[in-house]
């Protein structure tokens, strides 16, 4: 039983593993004369990871569109930070673009593109379907899909909506884990 409990704990806690923090530029930080393409090529960015930009007051970090990254335009940043230590979340898959808006810095190469990939553990797991019960040919089963009347849950109070959803997700996940365990234990 101890093994099953350990397994249960592992399965429950696995999705909550914290993401990796990538210090942009490594020990060089966010500065000039660093090739950030090379740096990024040596890193793997996964959803849930964070970027840490550390820099002096002559630099800033602008999150920009791909077009603005390409043209080094800082006139319309998605977000801008200049406090010397900026943490950027990588919440979803796809590319994110950053430039230093100080004049000439981006054109000099102070720009970063990261490609964020999905975490291994978060892809939806499709349980193997149960063995199909073959109906004898010649007698087509005409059972209509059962119509279960389920009353929708009462709407949560606005403001607690996200908490409500998280609770639902947790309960659902717990139910899935329990179901898997019982399937294993027979």
Residues that bind Cu ion (CB under 5 A): 59, 100, 102, 105, 110
Closest separation between CB of residue 43 and Cu ion, Å? 20
Q: Which is nearer to Cu ion, 46 or 110 (CB)?
A: 110
Closest separation between CB of residue 110 and Cu ion, Å? 5
Q: Which is nearer to Cu ion, 81 or 180 (CB)?
A: 81
Closest separation between CB of residue 114 and Cu ion, Å? 18
Closest separation between CB of residue 100 and Cu ion, Å? 3
DSSP string, the chain: -HHHHHHHHHHHHGGGPPPPEEETTGGG-S-SS--HHHHHHT--EETT-EEEEE--TT--EEEE-HHHHHHT--SS-SEEE-SSEEEEE--SSEEEEEE--STTTTTTT-EEEEEEE--GGGSPP-PPPPPP-PPPTT----PPPP----PPPPPPPTTSHHHHHHHHHHHHHHHHHHHHHHHHH-
Q: Which is nearer to Cu ion, 46 or 54 (CB)?
A: 54
Q: Which is nearer to Cu ion, 26 or 94 (CB)?
A: 26
């Amino acid at each position: 039983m101890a093994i099953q409990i350990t397994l249960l704990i592992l399965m429950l806690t696995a999705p909550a593993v914290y993401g990796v923090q990538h210090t942009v530029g490594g020990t060089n930080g966010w500065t000039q004369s660093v090739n950030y393409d090379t740096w990024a090529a040596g890193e793997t960015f996964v959803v849930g990871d964070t970027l840490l930009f550390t820099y002096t007051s002559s630099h800033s970090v602008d999150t920009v569109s791909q077009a603005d990254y390409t043209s080094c335009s800082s006139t319309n940043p998605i977000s801008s930070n200049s406090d010397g230590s900026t943490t950027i979340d990588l919440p979803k898959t796809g590319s994110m673009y950053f430039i230093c808006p100080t004049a000439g810095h981006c054109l000099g190469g102070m720009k970063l593109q990261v490609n964020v990939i999905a975490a291994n553990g978060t892809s939806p797991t499709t349980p193997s379907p149960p063995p199909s019960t073959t109906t004898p040919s010649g007698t087509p089963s005409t059972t209509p899909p059962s119509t279960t009347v389920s009353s929708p849950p009462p709407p949560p109070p606005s403001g607690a909506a996200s908490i409500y959803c998280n609770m639902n997700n947790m309960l659902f996940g717990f139910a899935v884990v329990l179901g898997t365990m019982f399937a294993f234990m027979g």
